[in-house]
Amino acid sequence: METKMHPPATGPASPAEARAAQQALLATFEAYKTANDERLAALEGKAATDILLDDRVGRIDAALARAQASLDRLAISAARPALGAPADPAGDERKEAFAAYLRRGDEAALMRIEAKSLSAAVPSEGGHVAPPEVAASIDRRLTAASPIRRIATVRVTGSGTFRKPVSITTPAVGWVSEKAVRPETATPSLDLLSFPVGEVYAMAAATQTLLEDAIVDIDQWLAGEIAESFAVAEGAAFVTGDGLSKPRGFLAVPSAPEASAQWGQLGYLATGAAGAFPTSNPVDRLVDLTYAPRTPYRGNASFVMNRRTVGTVRKFKDGQGNYIWQPSLVAGQPATLLGFAVHECEDMPDVAADAMAIAFGDFARGYLVVDRADVRILRDPFTAKPFVMFYVTKRVGGGVQDFDAIKLLKFAAS
């Protein structure tokens, strides 16, 4: 099965391109269902698996992932801002001064602008603050690349630690008649959560020829060079980070069986089989997971797992013989599993013994990402001559803010 891939778009996608991508996705999914049905029938008819059928299903599975990614790229293209926005004289002056600093190391104009804005960013303190347009471009790229950042709540702070009071228990209530005395009710238990920010950095290198090329948009080049590195580092920290100079990932939080989980722990359900789904009725474990969070958390809930785990659950059917995984025909919208969105996150562990390979819940209520408001850039033309290095730093933190909102599936007997 061969699926045509669309090249990276240079402008907004046309309706014809979107329709072509949708048709390719549907055709690939139908081919996948046919091949997997043949594989399942072969398994029922004999004990041994058919290597050729397994290989065919695997190839179509990969083509299906590519077709879904192609449709998603069209959504990113359509979301690009239109050209011709009203000019901002102050913004243009700042952009020109910043470009001069990046291209030639000219700091004079940039420092004058920073002095006007009362900025304390000087080279001795770690570089210059990037213009808001550059920081916003980096943030947009991070959101597009990082699945957790897309579904979590993001807050901007100006301090080194973001603190949030939360109520662990609900206030006590009572019933009284119109003229009865109102006795005092119990005070709810409060907890103060702290989210310290750590510093993530990346180094981008450029030749002097590239910097002197007036055609190159140096701001966008720099944002593109370092955004992917930031996204990789952030993505891993949001899932497994230990909280030391980095965000604390939700898999680094203590966990306990769902029936006994308390505040400060994420509840988990066991599959009943070590390192695997059970051989009979594996879909039941996923259904149980969707009902683990309380009802208020299920309306905006989604699955998070890596692509290899998606490849496993994509083969499952419900009791009526329908595939529980369904592709998304809307560009930019994720595929669904049992009716809930599925977000592929490569930092989630593979299915293995005792692995928490699948997470489910309302991540907007459950996980908080904290950003410092600025991005700093230091130009270094000396360390790696003849290349010019750009040392870019960004401060970000994160952690679980509601332990009831996220549940895990543990691949273990209990």
- How many CA atoms does the CB half-sphere of 296 hold within 13 Å? 6
Higher pLDDT pick, 326 / 212: 326
Q: Let me know how long the chain is.
A: 414
374: left (phi over 0), alpha (psi -120 to 50) or beta: beta
The values of phi and psi at residue 111, to 5°, are: -70, -30
| 108 neighbors 98 (Cβ within 8 angstroms) | no
What three-state secondary structure class fits 274? coil
User: According to the model, what pLDDT value does residue 238 have?
Assistant: 97
Q: List the one residue out of 83, 69, 84, 82 whose CA is nearest residue 8.
A: 69
pLDDT in tens, 74-127: 665 555 444 444 445 555 677 777 788 888 787 776 776 666 554 444 444 457
Contacts within 8 Å (CB) and 24+ apart, 94-101: 94/131, 95/131, 95/133, 95/219, 98/128, 98/130, 98/131, 98/134, 98/219, 99/218, 99/219, 101/128, 101/379
The values of phi and psi at residue 114, to 5°, are: -65, -35
Break the chain into its structural domains and give their ranges. Answer: 15-78, 130-168+187-306+345-414
Predicted confidence band of residue 326 (pLDDT cuts 50, 70, 90): very high
pLDDT in tens, 345-396: 999 999 999 999 999 999 999 999 999 878 888 888 888 888 999 999 999 9
- Is the confidence at residue 273, as pLDDT, over 90? yes
Average pLDDT, rounded, for the chain: 82
pLDDT in tens, 216-253: 788 888 888 888 889 999 999 999 999 999 999 999 99
Lowest mean pLDDT among 1-5, 28-32, 98-102, 197-201: 1-5
Q: List the one residue out of 289, 298, 316 whose CA is nearest residue 366.
A: 298
> Percentage helix, strand, coil, to 5, in the chain?
40, 20, 40
pLDDT in tens, 121-161: 444 445 788 777 788 888 888 888 889 999 999 998 888 88
Predicted confidence band of residue 50 (pLDDT cuts 50, 70, 90): low
Predicted confidence band of residue 7 (pLDDT cuts 50, 70, 90): very low
- Is the confidence at residue 203, as pLDDT, over 60? yes
Averaged pLDDT, 60-74: 75
CATH 3.30.2400.10 is the classification of domain 130-168+187-306+345-414: yes
What whole-number distance in Å separates Cα of residue 305 and Cα of residue 205?
34
Whether the predicted model's global pTM rises above the 0.75 cut: yes
Written as one letter, the residue type at 159 is S
What three-state secondary structure class fits 220? helix
> Who contacts 411 (Cβ-Cβ below 8 Å, separation ≥6)?
270, 271, 273, 274, 275, 276, 277, 351, 352, 353, 354, 355, 356, 357
User: According to the model, what pLDDT value does residue 123 have?
Assistant: 43
Q: List the one residue out of 350, 258, 269 whose CA is nearest residue 310.
A: 350
User: According to the model, what pLDDT value does residue 69 have?
Assistant: 75
